[in-house]
A and B are shown apart, each in its own frame.
Chain A
Amino acid sequence: MNSSSNNIKYVVFKMENEYYGIDITKVKSIEKIQYFARVPNAPTYVKGVINLRGEVVPVVDLRLRFELDYREVDTNSRIIIVFVNELEIGLLVDSSSEVIEINSEDIDNPPVVKESATDGFIKGIGKKNDNLIILIDIDKVIGIKEVE
């Protein structure tokens, strides 16, 4: 294996002053905020559905999914469209601006914290230029089982 294959690219986004990263191969696009149609009786973290170029795509408010405080969307808010389990799903985040490469050697195992809301969502902690980036396991975050 050469060194470049050890580098994985991550889309980095921000929530509550923390940086998070998603494996770029799972990301389809990043969209600006648009009109959400609320989905009644859905889990609270489902923000609604959006019209993404003629397709109806559900959007998950990642803040609520991670049990962070609710925050109104603003001009910096972004919807990251991910493609997981043959599903297209949007993730509402505070802001997202860059893609970075992290070498697998710079990734630590997630801290073991029992009964935290994000338990199991975190794949690892990436280190890049003194910043810590929480790498999330997107499959777990929007596991279909959890939606009931």
Chain B
Amino acid sequence: MDMNQYLDMFIEESKEHLQFMNEHLLNLEKNPSNKDLINEIFRIAHTIKGMSGTMGFNKIATLTHEMENLLDAVRSNKIVICSEIVDLLFSCLDVLDDHISNIITSGNESDQDNSELVLKLNNKLNDKLNGNKLDAKSNSSGKNTNLSYVDLDEYVIKTIYKANSEGLYAYRMTVKLSKSCLLKSARAFIIFNTLESYSEIVHSVPPTEDIEDEKFDYEFSLVLVTERSKEEIRKDILMISEIEDVEIDEVLFDSSSIKEEIQTGDETHEIVEEDDDSSLEVVIANKGATFEKKKTNTNIIGKTVRVDIDRLDNLMNLVSELIIIKTRLEDAGKVESNNLNETIEYLERITTSLHDAVMKVRMVPIERVFNRFPRMVRDLAKELGKEIELEMSGEETEVDRTIIDEIGDPLIHLIRNSLDHGIENPEKRMKIGKPPIGKIKLRSYPDGNNVVIELEDDGSGIDLEKVKKKAVEKGVITQLEAKELNDNEVIDLLFVAGFSTTDSVTDVSGRGVGLDVVKNKIESINGIVEVETSKNKGSKFSIRLPLTLAIIPALLINIKEEIYALPLSSIREITPVKMNEIRKIQNQEVVLFRKNTLPIIRLNRVLGIQDSVENEETTMVVVKKGEKEAGLIVDKLIGQQEIVIKSLGKFLLGIPHLAGATILGNGQISLILDVNSLF
């Protein structure tokens, strides 16, 4: 059955479930005795197991199955929860997360082998159940390797192990069909049917689906569990026609061998394979894999937004109103015209609401970004040996989907910075009279047409002197300049590329690709970053973002007859400038503006338009890129307007200085200039 249509849904839901699991695990760590949380986590693991099983993601299914077992033991008071178990569950969560992300990109689970984790889970369970009395009696592992573990997953190994302990036989058989066999899958089906009447087939190479689809040569192998003997089975299979040969080997291993391997740190993979035909199997398996890869290329998962049904209803209502108004307009054309104004006003109201409604559909709560931080902070704090409490508020604040995707990385960066450089060690904190537990506050709230995200820590703050010293060392500024800088200017130095103040480069942060990346990223989505800091009290980073990227306020300007739009967010001011005030210094035109030299850019030249007749005075739009400024010479200002950004498309990709296009009220197209690329 084709499951692709459900894949999107599966991914969305698994992500949600994993997120919940993450939250509950974090809570569980704080209140280990809370049974409700255990139940909740159990329930989630169970749901994921069910879903992934249906979708055929077996690795996820087995892993969650084992998690379930462990959780069940906890639930029924057989095991007491401890930090080890929580850590183990967290690592399971990470693996699950990894699988899901891999499914998103390629449609398959990641190659990551989770057998180790599964065994750990198992071990933990057994350890605890047996009261840590694990016999390390070394049984000679002589007869256990007719079978290489490599191509068997942990589920199969476990089943075989269980079967052996129950007195059943486990066999691995390789069936060769005769070359003249025409309906291979039908033949295989008969074999399967025969076997299934008295045994359980636990594993097959290639997988059963592929066998059904005839995606195999003339050979396939199975692992099955039964109470019958080898000879009986061989006889049965050979009764079926068109079979060339059957090879059956018994698979045997006992519990101690598995455990021993883990205890001695041996990877399960290292067991020596003896039979030659295993290499053949690998080839078959590989064939299957490449085929699957081809298949997955077609299902790249698109971006989705889950929309509240009320919002869609609202949208639908507005559209129906739009239809009504359309008919009214048709009528108004026929009858007298004083109706027209009223109708147009009505139309205006609808379009405004419609715009609002559509924007809302694109909005998602910032929680989506925030919810991964508690876990991150927890892990990092552990790693750094610091005690840190993360306080989040305003997760419900809504932002445009496109922004959500962009803001994650910069925020992670800032939080890592705070943890690594900001918050001090507990000892140091005690010494200067601060509570040992550091505090990081992450806050988000809407502010007019913007969303503000604040990250505040009560750490050491930014050492401005150190920043200055470093800046001089790195040659960013001179000694002389350093003296003249005010605090804000020093902070700005932090955002210069290749600047980092930590003496030691840690894994967490301080690799010198720091705040400049953050700043660029945020500016690329029309946001700004501000920093406040005071020594020993902490620092605060504020990020201000536009609510949406699709519609922006812009200044429309004329250059000759052409109309261009400049995003208002990058405009500082507009001023007239006299032509004779423009000086040329080393081929760069500048003008003295507010006691600073401001580089001049003649837009017409950038855009390949001839210079117009020089007037005595012209208009200059002062634009900013971070702290840099420049003056754009334009012919005429038209006015400020909200514009809808349209992409220029792939065909015109890479043409410099353009950020897109917009359609003006009269249907004419105006190009939007990318101010950042101009200087």
What residues of chain A have their CB less than 8 Å away from a CB belonging to chain B? Answer: 35, 37-42, 46, 49-51, 54-58, 85-89, 142, 144, 147-148
Number of A-B contacts (CB under 8 A): 72
Q: Is B562 a contact of A37 with CB atoms below 8 Å?
A: yes
A87: chain B residues within 8 A (beta carbon)? 649-651
Whole-angstrom distance between the Cβ of A127 and the nearest chain B Cβ: 33
Q: Is A40 a contact of B661 with CB atoms below 8 Å?
A: no
A42: chain B residues within 8 A (beta carbon)? 652, 655
- Tally of B interface residues using CB under 8 Å: 25
B656: chain A residues within 8 A (beta carbon)? 41
Q: Is B648 a contact of A37 with CB atoms below 8 Å?
A: no
The answer to the question of B663 belonging to the interface, with a C-beta cut-off of 8 Å to chain A, is yes
What residues of chain B have their CB less than 8 Å away from a CB belonging to chain A? Answer: 562, 606-609, 646-658, 661, 663, 667-671
Q: Is A89 a contact of B609 with CB atoms below 8 Å?
A: no
Residue of B647, B651, B653, B661 touching A142 (CB-CB under 8 A): B651
Q: Is B651 a contact of A41 with CB atoms below 8 Å?
A: no
Q: Is B651 a contact of A54 with CB atoms below 8 Å?
A: no
B606: chain A residues within 8 A (beta carbon)? 40
Which 4 A-B pairs rank lowest in CB-CB distance, beginning with the nearest?
A40-B607, A37-B669, A56-B661, A56-B646
Given contacts A49-B669, A51-B667, A56-B663, A39 and B655 within 8 Å (CB-CB): yes
Excluding A37-B670, A41-B608, A58-B652, 5 further A-B contacts by CB distance (< 8 Å) are A39-B671, A40-B608, A87-B651, A89-B651, A147-B653
Q: Is A39 a contact of B663 with CB atoms below 8 Å?
A: no
B658: chain A residues within 8 A (beta carbon)? 39-41
Q: Is A56 a contact of B667 with CB atoms below 8 Å?
A: no
Given contacts A38-B562, A39-B671, A56-B649, A49 and B661 within 8 Å (CB-CB): yes
CB nearest to A142 among chain B residues: B651
Q: Is A40 a contact of B609 with CB atoms below 8 Å?
A: yes
Q: Is B648 a contact of A49 with CB atoms below 8 Å?
A: yes
Tell me the complex Cα distance, A89–B606, Å.
25
CB nearest to B666 among chain A residues: A35
Whole-angstrom distance between the Cβ of A111 and the nearest chain B Cβ: 29
B671: chain A residues within 8 A (beta carbon)? 37, 39-40, 49
Tell me the complex Cα distance, A143–B246, Å.
56
Whole-angstrom distance between the Cβ of A97 and the nearest chain B Cβ: 26
CB nearest to A55 among chain B residues: B646
A89: chain B residues within 8 A (beta carbon)? 651
Tell me the complex Cα distance, A117–B675, Å.
36
Tell me the complex Cα distance, A144–B657, Å.
19
Q: Is B669 a contact of A144 with CB atoms below 8 Å?
A: no
B608: chain A residues within 8 A (beta carbon)? 40-41
Whole-angstrom distance between the Cβ of A79 and the nearest chain B Cβ: 14
Sample of 14 A–B contacts (CB below 8 Å): A35-B667, A37-B562, A37-B668, A41-B607, A41-B608, A41-B657, A41-B658, A42-B655, A49-B669, A56-B646, A56-B649, A58-B651, A142-B651, A147-B654
Tell me the complex Cα distance, A50–B607, Å.
18
A88: chain B residues within 8 A (beta carbon)? 649
B652: chain A residues within 8 A (beta carbon)? 39, 42, 46, 49, 58, 147
Whole-angstrom distance between the Cβ of A52 and the nearest chain B Cβ: 10
Tell me the complex Cα distance, A144–B562, Å.
27
Whole-angstrom distance between the Cβ of B393 and the nearest chain A Cβ: 40
CB nearest to A49 among chain B residues: B669
Tell me the complex Cα distance, A85–B562, Å.
30
Whole-angstrom distance between the Cβ of B186 and the nearest chain A Cβ: 33
Residue of B562, B654, B668 touching A51 (CB-CB under 8 A): B668
Q: Is B650 a contact of A50 with CB atoms below 8 Å?
A: no
Whole-angstrom distance between the Cβ of B634 and the nearest chain A Cβ: 14
B647: chain A residues within 8 A (beta carbon)? 56
B653: chain A residues within 8 A (beta carbon)? 144, 147
CB nearest to A48 among chain B residues: B669
Tell me the complex Cα distance, A34–B22, Å.
57
Name, among B607, B608, B647, B652, the residue most crowded by chain A CB atoms within 10 Å (CB to CB).
B652
Tell me the complex Cα distance, A88–B646, Å.
14
A35: chain B residues within 8 A (beta carbon)? 667-669
A51: chain B residues within 8 A (beta carbon)? 663, 667-669
CB nearest to B667 among chain A residues: A51
CB nearest to B670 among chain A residues: A37
A144: chain B residues within 8 A (beta carbon)? 650-651, 653
CB nearest to A34 among chain B residues: B667
CB nearest to A46 among chain B residues: B652
Whole-angstrom distance between the Cβ of B44 and the nearest chain A Cβ: 39
B562: chain A residues within 8 A (beta carbon)? 37-38
B670: chain A residues within 8 A (beta carbon)? 37
